[in-house]
Amino acid sequence: MARYIVTGGNPLEGRIRMQGAKNSVLPILAASIMNCGTVTIEDCPNIADVDITIQILRFLGCKVKREGNAVTIDASVISNCYIPQELMKKMRSSVIFLGAILARCGKAKCSYPGGCELGARPINLHLKAFRQMGIDVRETHGYIICKRKNFVPNKIQLDFPSVGATENIMLVAALSRGTTTIVNAAREPEIIDLQDFLNQMGARIHGAGSSIIVIEGVGTFHDTEKTVMFDRIAAATYLFAPIITTGDVVLDNVDVGHMESIVSAAKEMGALVDVDGRSLRVTMRERPLSIDNIQTMPYPGFPTDAQSQLMAVLAYAKGTSIIQEKIFENRFRVAGEFVKMGADISVNERVAVVRGTKTLQGANVTAPDLRGGAGLVLAALGAQGISEIEEIGHMERGYEKLEQNLSLLGADIKKVE
């Protein structure tokens, strides 16, 4: 199995361009099957989750061509309206295909999705919304079977602003008759990116970015091209890297307006943050400061996907920090790996108390999930000595050329097969 070998202690300095967003490109790729023609997606990151999504597209009957960071999907012919279990279990985001296949075929079948083990992530909100829209939903022997018999335009009140449920409702409603309204919709920037893509294909959707989204159904879509937004979670990871290594890094291709909670945390830790258009410079010259209390929340709050990376920095900070995890109950699984590196972290259910230590030590650790793995890489960069990080396949699901980018900034990191 591949692993990273990291020798810590090098201040990171330099400039890198942010990749396209994992959490935006996956639903956009799924939505491409709703057009009986061809679409091209630019700035598509070269990550494992995209590779799995392309496998699913090809299984459904699409012709997919990739050239660099451009992916062209010809969905003229869809030969399957289901996704086999071996593909579904590889990726949590595969559930977004449920809405896309329903919109295109009028029926869909898939097993429950896989992905990182972050705790209960039920898709009951998706299925509840489908039923409110007149879709027949059956759950049997581990499979979900949906049929669009008599679509009912409706006002869907989400119990929680779920990103996946919001996206699935948008997809089904976009090619259906009548007007559907989502109340308490997720407000993430990736929802706006999906809305923009659907509208470029001919949909009539407005309100993304707010808590109310209105979808006026249309009959057909047409060909288009779309450039994916930047990955704000990857940007958060690279933003924290110079803070833990007392460095100076410029991130290009970012929209700071989508990172306000992350930038605020960086400033609270003592980092200097300068914005110049779509570039963000982060400078740190001394050990970071602690944060009294930070909570993960749905957007625009601090993202749960950046919490493990922040914990890595706080483990090295001056003082004691408290992190409250409001989204996933198992997001603190990485804490035990940080402790192996000398961190002083205690966890009680969804609250972590992080008592900063002056130095972390290199150790052999294992990535428990995608973002926890990124946090371990950051901790290793700031630690003294050599760290070996196992299960790096988690990081390859969401980060494009992670070790190459960090090496460009001066990190001593190698991937060993």
Is 1 within 8 Å of 367 (Cβ atoms)?
Answer: no
**CA atoms of 217 and 175, how far apart (whole Å):** 5
**CA atoms of 193 and 60, how far apart (whole Å):** 24
**Which amino acid makes up residue 68?**
G
The CA angle 319-321-327, to the nearest 5 degrees, is 165
81 annotated active-site? no
Residue 345: burial class (beta carbons within 10 Å; 0-12, 13-18, 19+)? buried
Q: How many other CB atoms are there within 10 angstroms of residue 42's CB atom?
A: 14
Name which of 63, 13, 21, 82 is nearest 254 in CA terms. Answer: 21
Paired strand residues for 9: none
**CA atoms of 230 and 369, how far apart (whole Å):** 22
Residue 316 carries which DSSP code?
Answer: T
Residue 286: burial class (beta carbons within 10 Å; 0-12, 13-18, 19+)? exposed
Task: Return left, alpha or beta for 338; rule: phi > 0 is left, psi -120 to 50 is alpha, else beta.
Answer: alpha
Backbone angles phi, psi at 271, to 5 degrees: -75, 150
Q: Tokens representing 118?
A: 């972050």
Catalytically annotated residue among 44, 110, 116, 146: 116
Residue 77: burial class (beta carbons within 10 Å; 0-12, 13-18, 19+)? exposed
**CA atoms of 196 and 229, how far apart (whole Å):** 11
User: What stretch of H or E contains 379?
Assistant: helix 370-382
Is 294 within 8 Å of 317 (Cβ atoms)?
Answer: no
**CA atoms of 222 and 216, how far apart (whole Å):** 16
**CA atoms of 296 and 401, how far apart (whole Å):** 27
Which residues are known to be catalytic? 116
